[in-house]
Amino acid sequence: MIKYKSAEEIELMRESAQLVSKTLGMLAPLLVPGAIPLELDKKAEEFIRDHGGIPGFLGMYDFPNTLCMSPNAQVVHGIPGKTPLQEGDIMSVDCGVLMNGFYGDHAYTFPIGDVDADTARLLEDTKASLYAGIREVKAGNRVGDIGAAIQEYTESRGYGVVRELVGHGLGKQMHEEPQVPNYGKRGRGKKIQEGLVIAIEPMINLGTQRIKQLPDGWTILTADGKNSAHFEHDVAVVNGQPEILSTFQYIYDALGMEPAEYEKL
């Protein structure tokens, strides 16, 4: 059953989402060659607790860390380790927070120094596909419209869309109904209505859509070893229109970047 949120609940959820956003902004300038993922994970945990939140992933389904850190061919659910980041890597950082009784959950894939042209294009196109999906989050549309928009945007550019992992409803639970796939057919799936809050999170591969899992039981990686990108926002339906509760602005401020044109809804 989908749990639709009141205006008051959406305001509380915005605070949870924004704490994730601030955490990603705090990490952004630290994601450089030589950085140790496990140390960044500890910093993130401290930052979240200092700001009145609880790490949302830590201990959930027995996940051992605050952040999912998934470099290069890892798609999602990577466990922060001690291998230093290298120039040319990419790193998906996914973070969850529990605050005010509600979860925030969002993610950004960072280039580490300079990355090759195909990978740079993958990052930009995956982020753009997230916004193509967000634009469909309108009262009267259906959940299938979101996935269809993401799939059309990315497959037309030659990428593989991961099928096995999907976005989700968000609220007092990290994973609520409905599931929000990154592929689909227009006009299919649950109707979108006022108070729906979902996490949309395209996972897009440079090569094949197929994935495999490491023996650690967590890490998902591409079957062909090519790079994969992941961007995630928390989105509410307010006055029938999409409202993004999370923001990349803290990342942009930290890195001296401007939002792209497509980010203006």
Is residue 10 within 8 A of residue 197, CB to CB? The reply is yes
Question: Which residues in the 194-223 window bind Mg ion by CB under 5 A?
Answer: 199
Is residue 246 within 8 A of residue 261, CB to CB? The reply is no
| Minimum separation from the CB atom of position 201 to Mg ion (A) | 5
Confirm or reject binding of residue 105 to Mg ion (CB under 5 A): yes
Give the range of 137-145, 183-191, 225-233, 236-244 binding Mg ion by CB under 5 A: 225-233
- Between 99 and 199, name the residue whose CB sits nearer to Mg ion: 199
Distance CA 166, CA 44 (A): 24
- Between 103 and 153, name the residue whose CB sits nearer to Mg ion: 103
CA nearest to 109, candidates 202, 213, 209: 202
Give the range of 107-115, 121-129, 136-144, 158-166 binding Mg ion by CB under 5 A: 107-115
- Between 217 and 225, name the residue whose CB sits nearer to Mg ion: 217
- Between 103 and 159, name the residue whose CB sits nearer to Mg ion: 103
Confirm or reject binding of residue 176 to Mg ion (CB under 5 A): no
Is residue 168 within 8 A of residue 203, CB to CB? The reply is no
Is residue 23 within 8 A of residue 97, CB to CB? The reply is yes
Angle at 27 between CA 242 and CA 33, to 5 degrees: 125
Give the range of 24-32, 153-161, 188-196, 231-239 binding Mg ion by CB under 5 A: 231-239
Confirm or reject binding of residue 234 to Mg ion (CB under 5 A): no
| Minimum separation from the CB atom of position 227 to Mg ion (A) | 18
84 backbone dihedrals φ, ψ, rounded to 5°: -65, 145
Residue type, 53: G
What would the two tokens of residue 245 be? Answer: 């509760």
- Residue 136 DSSP code: T
| Minimum separation from the CB atom of position 165 to Mg ion (A) | 9
| Minimum separation from the CB atom of position 116 to Mg ion (A) | 26
| Minimum separation from the CB atom of position 261 to Mg ion (A) | 25
Residue type, 50: D
Give the range of 31-39, 92-100, 126-134, 212-220 binding Mg ion by CB under 5 A: 92-100
133: burial class by Cβ within 10 Å (0-12, 13-18, 19+)?
buried
- Between 84 and 248, name the residue whose CB sits nearer to Mg ion: 248
Interacting residue ranges for Mg ion, rule: CB under 5 A? 94, 105, 107, 199, 232
